[in-house]
Chains A and B, each alone.
Chain A
């Protein structure tokens, strides 16, 4: 059975009586069960079918929510009441959440169906989805390649059409980078736009729940639903959420391009040329392009790794084997309960980051590293605000290359540099989106990124829609 890529078309098909929601649900479940890419960790089969039946009746009675017809997979670090959630880590093996994340509740309220949970790098730490307790995810475009990470399962599931949309989380690029590698849309909201209640914490001043989908409309719609005030997250903005519908572009746009990003040494030449070609096309249509200086390119990833590991080392101290999750069998007293549980329960990458985090926070080094990075964070934020003063968006690549081979990158610092173009938005707290408008001669897709000012989601989706109409090739 053919399932359309957008919710609008799915709803049309259902209204016309061409198919039922139960049929669509069964088709997705079958696809998931047949898939060999390891994107889904668990399918909520029975309850998805049950909900499909109920929501079908609501559609027939014309009283369904705005997400009726949508099947959504959630990254394995987002809580769903009475369902397992493990952050793809042994330390949470078997853990069942006792509440739903606010984003999940909002989706359920609008009749979206949560179809299952998706593989990711352990505690969302990684850029390749190779560091999961459940094994690596394969890129649906080429099974020898990584899907990117950390939300690799969420990106791969959309590329393989295993559901209509997915939620991921983006701390340093974990939604946009895999979106680029898998050829789908990946969007990170403004920091504080979406409640983090029920998102397993990694770096609390960076984390945001993000969206993967095939169309800008669906991305916009889910963002509209999950955004907004929440009494369970004191960092969430109380500002009104953006509109349900995307306005069509009325005026010429002003686009800024950070020159250093375009001239980055390790940027693949074809990706650079595609960007230049897009820029030329936009110019010819009368849009304004401005080349900008961004002198901090070498400092964004170091700043990110100081601050995010510091926050992670603190956030992950709760995994102590005492009250929930895994406990080592070698737990004989309080110290051995902590040490053995954590040493057996965490993978190497998580341990590396906890160690670095504790180093930059330890006495004697706190000011030299942690405070220093917070100061650089301010410099980057101020410079970026200035770059966006006269521009609607900044445009640059999402990733320096297309997806690399599974097992290819072993050095942690080389892996961290995969985030070179994506961490910028997290450091400043800005909304950004990766659009699948690049195709490499090596047959792999790549994304182009748009970033704008805080809470300018409406503008971002408006321009994204225009960019997809102009540059996306199926």
Chain B
């Protein structure tokens, strides 16, 4: 697997990130090194091994679905970058043109 411009632009799209040419080169170089590094895992035979997915030993700690620690609408909006009265305000999502 070689990291080229196409791979970087695909990953950037998936990551919702933008890079200028210099940054692209830098990230491409770094990702190549990182890939080489993680490719070492291929030395190990893992055919019959089950992946370890859950780190906690207990399964499903249930709780009642009760309302507590409620935030008021005003509190919930305090960290919004742009708001309009009681709404989060965002740039338009659909373009008419």
Contact = CB atoms under 8 A, between A and B. Distances in A.
A472 interface: no
A351 B41 contact: no
A45 interface: no
A377 B31 contact: no
A98 B40 contact: no
A459 B10 CA distance: 49
A229 B16 CA distance: 36
Contacts of A321: 81
17 contacts: A95-B79, A191-B56, A192-B56, A231-B61, A306-B41, A323-B79, A326-B81, A327-B81, A348-B26, A352-B27, A356-B31, A372-B41, A375-B52, A377-B51, A412-B30, A413-B37, A454-B57
Contact of A340 (B18, B44, B93): B18
Contacts of A96: 78-79
A429 interface: yes
A303 B41 contact: yes
A313 B82 contact: no
A303 B42 CA distance: 11
A98 B41 contact: no
B49 A378 contact: yes
A375 B90 contact: no
Given A238-B58, A322-B88, A411 B33 contact: yes
Contacts of B16: 317, 320, 335, 338-339, 342
A313 B15 contact: yes
A302 interface: yes
Interface of A: 94-96, 98-99, 191-192, 205, 229, 231, 234-238, 296, 298-299, 301-303, 305-306, 313, 317, 320-327, 331-340, 342-343, 346, 348, 351-352, 354-356, 358-360, 362, 365, 369, 371-379, 381, 411-413, 416, 429, 454
A436 B54 CA distance: 33
Nearest to A322: B90
Given A98-B78, A375-B46, A377-B51, 7 more contacts: A191-B56, A205-B55, A298-B40, A352-B30, A354-B15, A355-B17, A369-B38
Contacts of B58: 192, 237-238
A180 to B, nearest CB: 23
B56 A416 contact: no
Contact of B91 (A317, A333, A371): A333
Contacts of B18: 339-340, 343
Contacts of A298: 40, 43
B79 A302 contact: no
B40 to A, nearest CB: 5
A327 B34 CA distance: 30
Contacts of A302: 37-41
Contact of A416 (B27, B37, B49, B52): B37
A351 B30 CA distance: 11
B29 to A, nearest CB: 10
Nearest to B76: A98
A331 B90 CA distance: 9
A100 B97 CA distance: 46
Contacts of A235: 55-56
Contacts of A333: 91-93, 95
Contacts of A234: 60-61
Interface in B4-19: 7-8, 10-12, 14-19
Contacts of B95: 333
Contact of A376 (B23, B46, B90): B46
A349 B92 CA distance: 31
A261 B58 CA distance: 32
B75 interface: yes
B38 A379 contact: no
Contacts of A377: 51-52
Given A191-B56, A324-B81, A369-B38, A355 B31 contact: yes
Nearest to A295: B44
A375 B15 contact: no
B67 interface: no
Contacts of B11: 355, 358-359, 362
